[in-house]
Amino acid sequence: MRRLRWPRWMPVDPYILLLIGTVGLAALLPARGTGADVASGASTLAIAFLFFLYGARLSTREALDGLRHWRLHLTVLACTFVVFPLLGLAARGLVPALLTDPLYQGLLFLTLVPSTIQSSIAFTSIARGNVPAAICAGSFSSLAGIVVTPLLAAVLLGGSVGGFSADSLVRIVLQLLVPFVAGQVLRRWIGGFVARHKKVLGLVDRGSILLVVYAAFSEGMVQGIWHQVSVLRLAGLLAVEAVLLAVMLALTWYGARALGFGRADRVAIQFAGSKKSLASGLPMAGVLFGVHASLAVLPLMLFHQMQLMVCAVIAKRRARDPEARDPEDPAAGARTAVGTGAGSG
């Protein structure tokens, strides 16, 4: 039987459609009472398992080898955890004229989460950039984000967000960092199994995120916080995020050139330094924001789809650059990753 493929002309990542469908399900049939408790408990376990898999997948040897390209990795980390948050703080001036305070808190949180892994690798490969550097940069960013994102949230968001407290930091460590470390420790024995069943476990990844989205948006619906968002406010949020993405794409590309990086490295820096991870951000938002998690993750979900669409176009244009080198491995595998694995990154 011929396998069905997602049409290449379709501008929306199929996983985003699943996320939208999950939000719609939560709006129509939100979990209440015992159902809400079950959904919350299941999402907690799913998040822990998700980060356990992240730890089991990350090759410690590859990560150590990647440290040799430390200037590139520091540049990506600076873009992700310094430049992005500064732009998020600057957006405070748009409240209340363009953004409501809850939407701004979500936008600021968006600027604090780590970079993607899958989509950064895929787009870097398509654009004929430094793929090994993109792999390490994305991995380092995700690992650092487990610690850095909650700390930045503690400083920049403080007590202004419901559900955030010192206890939240402890929960982040127990729910995200401990499973990740456990995955690293057990990688010696389960790494082969994880690699052999990559596709199946990828479905577990995405299913876990969908469960987190359903639990968060269900709680938001029950609390009635969605009445705070209007169509005009959403349009304003999209405009702000479009500017944010454009600024970061320009800074990572031209800034990397000013720092003396070659074309291949600049491609990796642009795609790893301008994007934010939905897979890492959603679980953290659920822990940090509590009942306000649905509004907090809305900017991240919108930005995620926007970055995929824009970066797909840029990657294809970069591949036609006269100075683009021919990669040792064909980019076809990466193109497949964009359609099947980049969406949850």
Express each pLDDT in 321-335 by its tens digit: 877 654 444 333 333
Q: Does domain 14-340 have CATH number 3.30.720.210?
A: no
Whether pLDDT at 234 is above 60: yes
How many whole angstroms separate alpha carbon 154 and alpha carbon 52? 24
pLDDT at residue 104, rounded to an integer: 93
- Residue boundaries of the structural domains of the chain: 14-340
Report the range of poorest mean pLDDT among 100-104, 247-251, 334-338: 334-338
User: How buried is 8 (Cβ within 10 angstroms: 0-12 exposed, 13-18 middle, 19+ buried)?
Assistant: exposed
How many whole angstroms separate alpha carbon 121 and alpha carbon 317? 16
pLDDT at residue 9, rounded to an integer: 47
pLDDT at residue 273, rounded to an integer: 96
Helix (H/G/I), strand (E/B), else coil: 301 = helix
Whether pLDDT at 340 is above 50: no
User: How buried is 6 (Cβ within 10 angstroms: 0-12 exposed, 13-18 middle, 19+ buried)?
Assistant: middle
pLDDT at residue 298, rounded to an integer: 86
How many whole angstroms separate alpha carbon 170 and alpha carbon 160? 18
Identify the residue with better confidence: 319 or 168. Answer: 319
pLDDT at residue 114, rounded to an integer: 94
Q: Is 33 left (phi over 0), alpha (psi -120 to 50) or beta?
A: left
Highest mean pLDDT among 35-49, 158-172, 236-250: 236-250
Structure tokens at 297: 């993750």
pLDDT at residue 49, rounded to an integer: 84
Cα 228–chain centre separation: 25
Whether pLDDT at 90 is above 70: yes
Query: If you search the block for the tokens 């876990």, which residue do you land on?
Result: 208
pLDDT-derived band at 202, boundaries 50, 70, 90: confident
Q: Average pLDDT in the 263-268 region? A: 94
Identify the residue with better confidence: 226 or 209. Answer: 209
52-74 per-position pLDDT tens digit = 887 787 776 666 666 678 899 99
pLDDT-derived band at 293, boundaries 50, 70, 90: confident
149-193 per-position pLDDT tens digit = 888 988 888 655 554 556 666 777 777 778 888 988 898 899 888
pLDDT at residue 24, rounded to an integer: 85
Q: Which helix (H) or strand (E) holds 307?
A: helix 293-319
Report the range of poorest mean pLDDT among 91-105, 197-211, 254-268: 197-211
How many whole angstroms separate alpha carbon 196 and alpha carbon 200? 9
